[in-house]
Chain A
Amino acid sequence: MSGASAVPATAAPAAASAPPTADRWYPLRRLAEALLAPLLALVAAAALFSVFLLFLGQSPLEFVELVWRGAFGSWFSIQNTVQRAAPLLLTALCVALPGQLGLVIIGGEAAVVLGGLMATVAALPLVNTGPWVVVPVMAIAGAAMGAFWIGISGWLRAKLNVNETIASLVLAYIGLALFNHFVEGVLRDPASLNKPSTYGIGEQNMLDLVPWLEIHPGLPVGILACVAAWILIYRTSLGFASRVTGGNLRAAMLQGLPVTRLILLACALGGACAGLAGAIQVAAEFGRANASLNAGYGYTGILIAFLARFNPLAILPMALLLGGLDAAGGLLQRRMDLPDATILVLQGMIFVMILASDTLYGRIRWFQPRGGA
């Protein structure tokens, strides 16, 4: 069950006689440790899932082969993977940015749907002005709505000391109820019978696929957002202050860091990313707001952020991995007769293992600083 923790601690002899200089290789070993632990967790989850498949009389090798084929095997499947990964990049940031401050925000789903709804509402009066007006307005409206919605959780945390995890989740349900109320009420296009939807933003205003590559337009936006977030976190004093706060709240307060403002900012930025994801989904895929927005991107984003240990650059491969698993779901269903919940089981196993692997940090001596560092 906790296979990852059974790794023998390779206790290297402590360099007792080391000169009192800084340990030059420590940053590299720290990086290796940060890579090793999630890798071991992924291996352990894969092993566990293989046992699960064998128990069902299915072949793990066939599973891997089908996932590879369904996710990355052809340009078509890569397009499919990217289409699913693009919103995940942004929703993972909704967890990773507040995560720098030690906050666990799990309400990104509501920011996605409300962001998509607000983007649609903002676009409706402008339908005839052309995409160069509509698309930026949608992006701003979606991001602002997301920032507001996650910002509420941050405000409750910073000002009233309400636990942000539960608050954001409860707000997610409230946000979904609001979304349904509007989509099935005032904003409903009477022509949408089976699937209640708002009025459309107009074919001419929708985002095209990225030219030449023919991939989802959310991908470049998501990559830019992840790189920007990485710079913000690791290369600015604002990011440093956030990481200090996440490491030790009291020390940060003692230093006079603006903890309240940092919390509000991180939550608002994270929410803006998730809201933008909703706006992009509407602008690029649906053309209107409806229940398709509520596809669990917010929840998968949580898993990706934890897999990436809240590092925005690590979010890129992890989002592709999970987007790929999702994209392969249909193929798995057809070829191996596995229900779509199979991916959910695998995700659950990965998540449990990744969190369990947190216990490895600091356990293996070889990775620790030596000498007079």
Chain B
Amino acid sequence: MSDSLATVLLAMLAGSLRVSTPFLFVSIGECLTEKSGRINLGNEGVLVLGAMVAYATSYETGSPWIGVLAAAFAGLLLGALHGAVCSLARVNDVAMGIAIMLAGTGIAFFFGKPYIQPSAPLLPGIPFGWWSGSSQVQNALLVCPLFLLGIAAAIGLHWCFNATRVGLRIRIVGDSQDAALALGLPIDRIRFLATACGSALAGIGGAFLSLYYPGSWNEGLSSGQGLMAVALVVFARWNPIYCIYASLLFGAAGALGPSLQTVGITWGYYLFYAAPYIVTLVVLIITARGGRSLAGMPGQLSIGR
């Protein structure tokens, strides 16, 4: 019994390290965007588009790293579209995000059709489990370099928010439009850039999906990670460092069903599949209990109302 428990826990650790990376990238991207006072539900579309572009580029050029760059660029473009349209007066950023999600998914499916069959070069893993004789442990600790890059990006973003002039400006624009106006900050431009850069990060998350785990391109690749990341940012209280922990937690929840399957528990597979969504819902309820003044929430965010 304890043996199978260890198997489940190990599988969950492995799954968590893998499944969490897209969450990590989308959530820090979303965190950046939301800190500037705007919400981007379109990152779901960016994730899918990023996955397709990364896979296609990797296949065409033979280099997965160029694929990652291309995914970031595709995300940048889609985020720029969201940022530009949302800076028009009266445009609802929540609804616009849904539109961007639809557009991004549509473009990805349209151009991605020829790439479903061929296999592209994937990203290599870094074997952190070399010290162990067990192949299971070795397998679990085969970490994608993008995961480390994501952690570095989260730490960098945290530093940027707290120690740099740029970060301070983003926070001012996000917290108080009045203060930003008084300081003469270019509000729309800052939000535009924050949205575009946030989506570029989300695009890298998509590259992870197609180039590392699950490591192929198909139309059912994303299961709403881009949208769950919005809840994850709420859970992480708009703090990039907490985004890392939250992503790992969501990753572990997502790995629950497949992990139980490895020891033969197949009952309720679909219910365990819902675990991360249930976690999201519980997180939303817990964090919303305090009412309007959520600690750390940017004051201009439209979902705060």
Q: With the chains together, A173 CA to B254 CA distance in Å?
A: 13
Q: Does A303 contact B (CB under 8 A)?
A: yes
Task: Count chain A residues whose beta carbon lies closer than 8 angstroms to a beta carbon of B.
Answer: 48
- What is the minimal beta-carbon distance from A267 to any residue of chain B, in angstroms? 16
Within the complex, what minimum Cβ distance (angstroms) separates A302 from chain B? 6
* Minimum Cβ distance to chain B for residue A187 (Å): 12
Cβ-based interface call for B66 (8 A): no
Check A341 for interface membership: any CB of B closer than 8 A.
yes
Closest-CB distance, A179 to chain B (whole angstroms): 8
Bound-state CA distance A351–B270 (Å) is 32
Name the A residues within 8 Å of B292 (CB-CB): 161
In whole angstroms, how far apart are the Cα atoms of A16 and B16 in the complex? 67
Report how far A361 CA is from B92 CA in the complex, Å. Answer: 13
Q: Is B291 an interface residue (CB 8 A)?
A: yes
Q: 0/1 per residue, A150-176, Cβ < 8 Å to B?
A: 000000100011110111011101100
Asked if A177 meets B270 with Cβ closer than 8 Å, knowing A170-B277, A341-B113, A351-B98, the reply is: yes
Between A106, A342, A362, the greatest number of chain B beta carbons within 10 A of the residue's beta carbon is seen for A106
Q: Is B131 an interface residue (CB 8 A)?
A: no
CB within 8 Å of A: which B251-305 residues: 268-271, 273-274, 277-278, 280-281, 284-285, 288-289, 291-292, 303, 305
Report the nearest B residue to A352, measured CB to CB. B99
A189 at the interface (CB under 8 A from B): no
Selected contact of A177 from candidates B94, B103, B277, B280, CB within 8 Å: B277
User: How many B residues, CB 8 Å from partner?
Assistant: 48
Partner pick for A169 among B92, B227, B270, CB 8 A cutoff = B227
| A352 and B88 within 8 A (CB) | no
Q: Secondary structure at chain A's binding surface: helix, strand, loop or mixed?
A: helix
Complex Cα distance, B112 from A344, in Å, reads: 13
Q: State the Cβ distance, B192 to closest chain A Cβ, in Å.
A: 13
B96 touches A339 (CB 8 A): no
Q: Complex: how many Å from CA A299 to CA B44?
A: 14
Distance in angstroms from B52 CB to nearest chain A CB is: 11
CB A16 to nearest CB in B, in angstroms, measures 25
- Judge whether A356 and B277 touch: CB under 8 Å: no
- State in angstroms the CA–CA spacing of A322 and B223 once bound together: 25
Q: How far is the CA of A163 from the CA of B271 in the complex (A)?
A: 24
Name the B residues within 8 Å of A174 (CB-CB).
274, 277-278, 281
**A338 shortest CB reach to chain B, Å:** 8
The answer, yes or no, to whether A348 is at the interface (CB within 8 Å) is yes
Task: Report if A5 contacts B (CB, 8 A).
Answer: yes
Q: Is A283 an interface residue (CB 8 A)?
A: no
List A contacts of B102 (CB < 8 A): 299, 303, 344, 347-348, 351
With beta carbons under 8 angstroms apart, the residue of A178, A185, A356, A362 that contacts B88 is A356
- CB–CB A344/B92 < 8 A: no
Q: Known contacts A1-B81, A173-B224, A174-B274; is A341 also within 8 Å of B109 by CB?
A: yes
B85–A339 CB distance below 8 A: no
Contact across chains for B103 and A2 when beta carbons are under 8 A apart: no
The reply to whether B268 and A181 contact each other, CB–CB distance below 8 Å, is yes
CB-CB under 8 A for A169 and B94, given A161-B292, A341-B106, A352-B81: no
Which residues of B are found within 8 Å of A106, using beta-carbon distances?
98
Give min CB distance, B44 to chain A, whole Å.
Answer: 9
Contacts of A184 in B (CB 8 A): 270
Nearest-neighbor residue (CB-CB) of A171 within chain B: B281
* B230 close to chain A: CB less than 8 A: yes
Determine the chain B residues whose CB is within 8 A of the CB of A362 once the complex forms: 90
The yes or no answer to B185 lying at the interface (CB within 8 A) is: no
Give min CB distance, A358 to chain B, whole Å.
5
Cβ contacts under 8 Å, B268 to chain A = 181
Note all chain B residues with C-beta closer than 8 A to A173: 223-224, 274, 277
**Which residues on the A side are within 8 Å of B67 (C-beta)?**
none
- A352 and B85 in contact (CB under 8 A), knowing A161-B292, A177-B274, A302-B98? yes
Interface centre among A104, A166, A178, A354 (most CB of B within 10 A): A166
- Distance between A111 CB and nearest chain B CB, rounded to angstroms: 16
Cβ A170 vs Cβ B281 within 8 A: yes
Considering the chains assembled together, what is the distance between the CA atoms of A341 and B111 in angstroms? 9
A359 touches B281 (CB 8 A): no
**Which of A5, A163, A306 has the largest count of B CB atoms less than 10 A from its CB?**
A163
11 contacts between A and B (CB under 8 A): A166-B227, A169-B227, A170-B280, A178-B271, A180-B273, A185-B270, A341-B106, A342-B110, A344-B109, A348-B105, A358-B92
Q: Which residues of B contact A (CB under 8 A)?
A: 41, 81, 84-85, 88-92, 94-96, 98-100, 102-107, 109-110, 113, 223-224, 227-228, 230-231, 268-271, 273-274, 277-278, 280-281, 284-285, 288-289, 291-292, 303, 305
Binding site for B on A (CB under 8 A): 1-2, 5, 104, 106, 156, 160-163, 165-167, 169-171, 173-174, 177-178, 180-181, 184-185, 249, 299, 302-303, 306, 339, 341-349, 351-352, 354-356, 358-359, 361-362
6 additional contacts, CB 8 Å, given A347-B106, A348-B105, A358-B91?
A165-B41, A306-B99, A344-B102, A346-B106, A352-B100, A355-B91
